[in-house]
Chain A
């Protein structure tokens, strides 16, 4: 097998797929390296069409198996008996946390990575976000602004297919959307009430990478809302449904699975990366691949992990870490249930089908020049309205025929708003190589040292109050409102560690996602994030990747790298 390529893409998830597509379409011979197993689109979605009674544990899963093999993953709401084969085995893939801290690192090691299991919410970041670090002094200034990414957001949205509604908001830039999914009757009512009472707030349908119109080779969403099982219709964006077939169609892609990148190899004389050293996890065989450029798309923390363990005389603390900041300023979103309310209205109305997105209320706090609250930056809400179903029978008194007949019908409306507060970039939140613990292959474990801060707590406290006020105004009776963040990682938006910045002394990557220290390595997954904003980040990772690929190929052609 050929071991020399134009480009190596490390990882096959949301950004790895994009890097492979963009680079192969620009004519480069690309090797994509995936640490997990191969999953074939369609045929390998083995639980996709299963009903609960066809599952050994009715979809609930085997707690004994979960305790042994999925101790962290099984805490994820999207982890079920149907989807467990799309999550990593924790026992075989351990990580460490710093003393006194906790972190839920939810992972998918497989072809397609977390593109198979992601929440599909697709939002642009605004200049409120790109300018935040400079404005309030947390972290380092982003070296890009919205105008830099806008054409690439356009490019990505057009290709992956995002359904949504343009709203003209400064905090959540409009995009190129397929027709939006519809609000149900209670959501529509709540929208009217909230927007009348708080003119600066907007309730809109979630912008989701589920198709409402066919795209080449992909069908429209069937409103099943079982996406993480895998969708043989190709109706939501994943590597398998979208970027991988595009990359393969070029004839320029070589894909290897079950192969973990142990290190990126550095040529001190040439001052550039030579390639990668890999381990086949099935055969134990080790080998090297070489390339002119390397794209790091292993997932934010794993990209950090690989760079940290790629130590050499030139970079004793990790490749590209002359600043000492590699692994620092990691983030997640601080999230919790803002409010849940019961409604006794619209009892004669319901909906048909399983809409695979909810509603959002984009950030409305601190958009003016001066902060209006005791915290900086902001938060957003995601949620929706629904009518209860049989699961309420677990919480309600009653037995016998009357109990059964009651559960035969839809229950009352309830509406949920989940708060997502921005996570400030802090140097103390960081990744390290564990000094003692190693994995099954002898490599040091990644140690995560992360805690939410006071700013996040204040933001969530405000969010809880506002969520309650909005649901009350819409006629609901609030039954729960929380204001403390979940364990770090719980938003599944872990990011940072190789943050972009102007200055090589204080940041790891430059405005083109290149390592400041090694010009032919590009970090375009969540590791490059310099701040978290408060919206779902995956679309931004995709846009950064496409932009960086375009620039990398230009520089290659010009002989600049």
Chain B
């Protein structure tokens, strides 16, 4: 399991510190990796990475009438999941999924996310305007679910966000409906546009 505070993350933080990236600025993968290669070994910055994670969780499942992924504690779940290799994240993300070339040694799943979002945001995803951030993530998502995107690490990360949210108390019992002891089975009931799905329809969780 790659450590999420591994040098590539710290290196990119250095890159960000240098103020190179400005929202909207055109950069190439080669430029980003070149900056990384020049970077020294600054101290790890989990807070910075957590900020990225929170922003991505918030963009994926935002607050609406019910709290979204951040308030549901999904970032903590993702960190735990990555530490323990859930959804096969004990393996590094596929090298060919790093835009513009192979990943640096030790690059983990959040490294990939940060790199790709920085690239799409024109340099510094976190410093970009909300609309730019949303577009960057939407583009990443669209590519991941388009034909040929099957191996995208975003599918894995998004899967963890979705799991983290809908298995949280907020996602599972406020956003969706949760009833551990239904007590009966009604085989045919109407469902309207305002009815919430069950979070613990276990057959659907398995096969749905």
Which A residues contact B (CB, under 8 angstroms)? 49, 51-53, 57-60, 62-64, 67, 77, 181-185, 188, 222-226, 340, 347-355, 358, 384, 386-394, 396-401, 403-405, 407-411, 414, 416
Contact = CB atoms under 8 A, between A and B. Distances in A.
Nearest to A383: B207
A400 B60 contact: yes
Interface string B51-73: 00000000111101000100000
* Central interface residue in B167, B180, B201, by most chain A CB within 10 Å: B201
B172 A53 contact: yes
A388 B158 CA distance: 18
A408 to B, nearest CB: 6
With a 10 A CB-CB cut-off, give which of A340, A353, A405 has the most chain B CB atoms. A353
Given A408-B176, A410-B197, A399 B185 contact: no
Nearest to A404: B61
A400 B56 CA distance: 10
A484 B141 CA distance: 33
A410 B195 contact: yes
Contacts of A77: 206
A494 to B, nearest CB: 22
A387 B85 contact: no
Interface stretch (B3-11, B31-39, B186-194): B186-194
B183 A393 contact: no
B203 A407 contact: no
Contacts of B190: 348-350
A419 to B, nearest CB: 15
Interface centre among A62, A184, A224, A391 (most CB of B within 10 A): A391
A400 B80 CA distance: 23
B208 A411 contact: yes
Contacts of A392: 208
Contacts of A387: 191, 197, 201, 204, 208
A409 B193 contact: yes
Top 7 closest pairs, chain A to chain B, by CB: A397-B145, A388-B208, A52-B167, A353-B185, A353-B182, A58-B167, A182-B187
B163 interface: yes
A391 B87 CA distance: 14
B187 A183 contact: yes
Given A394-B159, A399-B138, A411-B208, A349 B196 contact: no
A386 B204 contact: yes
A62 B77 CA distance: 12
Contact of B60 (A49, A57, A403): A403
Given A49-B180, A63-B85, A401-B64, A351 B186 contact: yes
Given A57-B80, A60-B86, A414 B207 contact: yes
A154 B180 CA distance: 33
Contacts of A67: 85
Contact of B205 (A51, A353, A391, A403): A391
B159 to A, nearest CB: 4
B167 to A, nearest CB: 4
A411 B197 contact: yes
6 contacts: A53-B167, A58-B168, A64-B85, A185-B187, A354-B203, A391-B163
A184 to B, nearest CB: 5
A388 B189 CA distance: 16
B17 interface: no
Nearest to A384: B203
A495 B142 CA distance: 48
B208 A352 contact: no
Contact of A388 (B85, B166, B185, B204): B204
B200 interface: yes
Given A354-B201, A405-B64, A408-B197, A184 B187 contact: yes
B105 interface: no
Contacts of B169: 51, 53
Contacts of A184: 187-188
Contacts of A63: 84-86, 88, 90
B134 A51 contact: no
Given A58-B164, A351-B186, A391-B208, A396 B195 contact: no
Nearest to B160: A394
B131 to A, nearest CB: 12
B147 to A, nearest CB: 11
A188 B175 CA distance: 30
B162 interface: yes
B182 A354 contact: yes
Interface in B107-163: 134, 137-138, 141-142, 144-146, 155, 158-159, 162-163
A385 to B, nearest CB: 9
Nearest to B134: A400
Given A351-B187, A386-B201, A414-B207, A401 B159 contact: no
